[in-house]
Chain A
């Protein structure tokens, strides 16, 4: 497993938000994470991405135990989270955003001048790898569509050598054509042997791209299913707890 969490507990005061959660993603696997509002999905991904520190449990990245004290820590060990708000600088260009904080430099007399041609070349490469179409490398990110910005954010993660990419509701609030595009990004990431955690409310999207599905309910990870061998009905039953009711009745 590329990424593994075992026995993760997270409490907020008296509330147990994550109750001994186990979660794992293999290399080149798309793992969907589903569950109702308040089931603990957001808390879980915040723990993966370094925004929350778990109260108990262990996290391993590529076999090595890790402790994240901040999102930067997680980022450094190869875990990139594409947040809903995307965390891009809106009034900067595509290349500027992708290379923000890790600019390619061409020192002249020790002064670290920006190597803009190199950054633009690499940006063009990254975008074509993902098949992202932007109006121009010089247009501001805030003038782009939601799907294009997702593409830029993913390209930035790839440029940071991320191995696990967490996408939080990437298709929410997107037009139909854009949704298809974003799902295509996920497939391309998998084909490059990257691992993806996909959080989504949309069961259709989940079935379209995922390899496995983890279901959260009341702070516990109640099931993991192979996408190929399960059905949307079963997953929805697990999310809503209908299957528990049926089990109790029989």
Chain B
């Protein structure tokens, strides 16, 4: 008889073993404690809330990136999607449209650009890293052509409360992050769609055999990532009231780094949103702490890059050790 102790499955927020999440959590505590000792400014409400706001867009994009990487894909063009969406948002505001129109425009443009990536990787069979790299070039070119080196500035802050506001003392940006991760968690773990993402990442052939529409599932995942990038663009505009030329330049790589540090396998099939969220927190805390203790922010990229290599090597070794069958 199969082991059936209680028919209710464990409520899985984390990956099956949850080791990676625990390690990251411990690392966040240790690094946080270190920075608190090194700088009196680190562990202050003002600093932490500021870090949270600055990390809002990365956190949102990373949730979508987790879905795409679990499915065995990748998208290096999310920064470009953010940029093009932000430009559309900015131009729409400048044209005098109200937020009632601008918000759907921002979300729709992100979704469409994401779906475009999905179309390239499924219908045209371009490997995702190449397809989205091409998209990245195209999207950046569009941005340069439209704004030509100047900022779009003086935009209204209608949505600013989502970033800067507070609800019964809780920063609104924290609530936004929790809402996005909550919805993505439902999608990934409580709906058939999420099972299909894991299945495609784990064995695309097996997903096809049981009749899952693999192409449609993939396009939808890229579109969801695009939607979140569009949402991030709205929050970016709300936060800065500008569209700057450097928008989104680092977000793709940081989102991939946060996802991988959080335990999602770059080969697909494995991963958790909680891990990604911890990955985002870790990256942002390291960035913030290093600035506070007066270390060049270049070191932050060295640290994150080094950690990525360590994590990927450890995964590769672990995989070699417990490989079983095909």
Contacts and interface: CB of A to CB of B under 8 A. Distances in A.
Contacts, number: 111
Interface in A72-112: 72, 75-76, 85-92, 94-96, 99-103, 105, 111-112
B8 A87 contact: no
B176 interface: no
A138 interface: yes
Contacts of B2: 94, 123-124, 127-128, 132-134, 136-137
A136 B198 CA distance: 19
B298 to A, nearest CB: 37
B200 to A, nearest CB: 9
A14 interface: no
A246 interface: no
B209 A71 contact: yes
B207 A101 contact: yes
Interface residues of B, number: 33
A141 B201 CA distance: 15
A103 B7 contact: no
B324 A142 contact: yes
Interface string A135-161: 111101011001001000000100010
B198 A102 contact: no
B9 A100 contact: no
B133 interface: no
Contact of A120 (B4, B192, B195, B209): B4
Contact of B203 (A89, A95, A120): A89
A117 interface: yes
A116 interface: yes
Contacts of B191: 111-114
B202 A91 contact: yes
Interface in B145-204: 190-192, 195-196, 198-199, 201-203
Contacts of B322: 143
A100 B9 CA distance: 16
B202 to A, nearest CB: 4
Contact of A91 (B8, B10, B208, B269): B269
A89 B199 contact: yes
8 contacts: A75-B211, A90-B202, A102-B210, A132-B2, A136-B2, A137-B4, A138-B10, A142-B324
